[in-house]
Structure 1
């Protein structure tokens, strides 16, 4: 009787076994950073819950007291509650906005930069883990964590901001720049782009500190470019008003000026016809009305989603560039 032994190809045999091993190694290697990150997310999330609950309620009550005073000098209201809400809102908003930069710095300085600088990557590749699989493990699991953390913080921030609408007189509007980004999907997309930029910088520079700085700067440049292009990512609406009323319309400003009798749009020499000399200046350019191109509140989600799509496309390109760079450096082993 002849026994036939079937040999399993090494890639198939080692593939499934190496995935969990790589994940365990990744968690063990970056456990301090993961614990610190989890603590920061929990603390910021708790602060946002507190902001949207007791702080908002106390501030709303204080504003009711203040508005009922009717300029009575002896009237009392809880000014500390108003100031406390404003301070906590600002601190938590900027803490949420810092998350993409923290992800980029960690991805560049520790996730890939430190490993390529120390040479531990080549040690891993000699133990049956292909470079492509090593890189995939540095992207997949951190991307899931990044998506979950930033998505949760953006949701909690939006809930806290919504809780103050119509109740707190000093609550910031939707188009306030930090509030706009902290409330939506662009924040999540930027965090994922920061992860991809950090991984690419670590592979490219192979120095932890240099990669950390490069990833943070690259993310800042991307954010600035998206912010500059934001008003033109979706068609604006035009509000036309009389010269006596002045420009009208609230939201993200795209452009404004005057409309002439011929229907041409010109830059306005002034915007308040009641000021001395303004009426004559408007007459000189034959202005008949003011116009203002704006994005109203209804454009919030279209702007968020289009901007998020652009940022995610950049993140995908950075990820592709990282795999191509690794393949070029390692040859067939990266395949």
Structure 2
């Protein structure tokens, strides 16, 4: 993680989702957002008037110039716009999730070696893997336990703990001890939405972001991150509307044009990483292990089947700056061309990617 942070210039956070939600709420209120809770949306009308009408379960009516459907995988907004779209499991793959207190792991004579340093660990085998990493300032160990079922799973299921533990009975004894500490578990489906042809209604006054638009499998842990990229990019576009530089239709169209391909690419990368981690024993698995060996031994490498460590994927996924991307896209929209160095002819995008990244900020 430290190496990725140094290369990208950004922190790499692994966060308890409840803490993430609380942090986002705190910032939103600080920035002046009016957050209305207990207001489940039951109906919206985006066709009758100049504004979008929203009705809540309490019978209250609201009108908006722009409605952003950031309401997750069960999105009411998406169901209204695209009633035939249904998030589906691409395979029989699903996941368990668990949190174990660090103090409990530290007391175990076998498992304690895994938590001496704050690291991310992955154990791989055919049709299953376990990934673990610290959250909550190193007080809890988060586990994601991937596995397959005979049939695709479409909703959360309660599981028998004997079945849960049996899935990982042949894993490394250290992580197996931690698996045995899990008191209860649920089976979570891995549902994919899209890729869709559009994320908006015809007049561009309703638009989707996040899981409502592009839910993905969890193998790159990028669902929430991609959602926030959407929000950062769309905010820049809407900012241009507020400034009077473009209209709302143009802003939403630009957001879709630029973000839809990136989200689809992230969906594919996430799926592929799960494939790498769950190969059956045989020639492909052996070739994967050979390709990963330089990384495990600390030797230089150019490519890796571990997409968390693959240099090009790290830069594309973790080095991506949504606000910078938006600024570049807005500039191209305004001028009709990409910004470039007049003397050298090199575009600013490539100059930033290959040259400016290592320079002191004062010199940029």
TM over 0.5: no
Bigger relative contact order (CA 8 A; separation at least 6): 1
**Higher radius of gyration, 1 or 2:** 1
Structure 1 or 2: larger helix share? 1
Structure 1 or 2: larger strand share? 2
TM-score when normalising by structure 1: 0.30
